Amino acid sequence: MRRIVLEASSNGRTADFGSAYEGSNPSASATPGQKSTNLRAELKPLARPSHVLVVTLGAVPPRIVGEAGTALQDVLAIPARPGPALERPGYAFNKDRSQYHTAAILRRLASLRSREAPVLGIADFDLFVPDAPFVFGDADRDAGAALYSVARLLHADPDKLRRRAQVEAVHEVGHLLGLSHCADWRCAMFLSRDSADTDRKGPGLCGTCRGALGV
């Protein structure tokens, strides 16, 4: 069972929550009142993969997939390769919430993982975990699978949508590489509590996070 302590959890799952908080980091041990310039400092970065497999779920516009791939290459120096286009996962749908449970989707995505590459899913529907009203995304570092949704990131301004898609792609893959949440609001690894937070930060990483990954 996943245990929430402020923004920390004891396993490899990282859900990026909206509402009161964005989520838990992969494995850092945060304590009340702790002040740190970067919450990921306690984590050991993982080996850099040869590429990231990007899988769509639902009707995700191709331009979003392309922009996400560009950000992964530019920021993390990891190329993105297209994976299969999947339908909306009926097996993960909760009719009482009209949302899709991330844990079930991550298991499906993990089955597509190769030894060389983790998987990033991009969905067009709203996501949830039981302990939050919604989540922007979720990542299971041990399984090598991450997921985010554009459902709450859509915007009439295509430039703003492009930036949001890039930020969330870098954020979720950053978790797969071993990064936790960052206290620098300009860094892609900052905890976004709503789309306004995502708009304030950029797809780039702060110096501390870049140093941790060696990029």
Which residue pairs from 97-103 have beta carbons closer than 8 angstroms and sit at least 24 positions apart in sequence? 97/128, 98/126, 99/125, 99/126, 99/127, 99/128, 99/134, 100/125, 100/126, 100/127, 100/128, 101/127, 101/128, 101/129, 102/15, 102/127, 102/128, 102/129, 102/135, 102/137, 102/138, 102/147, 103/129, 103/138
C-alpha span between 63 and 162 (Å, rounded): 8
Is residue 172 among the annotated active site residues? yes
d(CA 91, CA 13): 20
Q: Which of 7, 22, 67, 172 is catalytic?
A: 172
Token code pair at residue 181: 């949440």
| Catalytic sites, residue numbers | 172
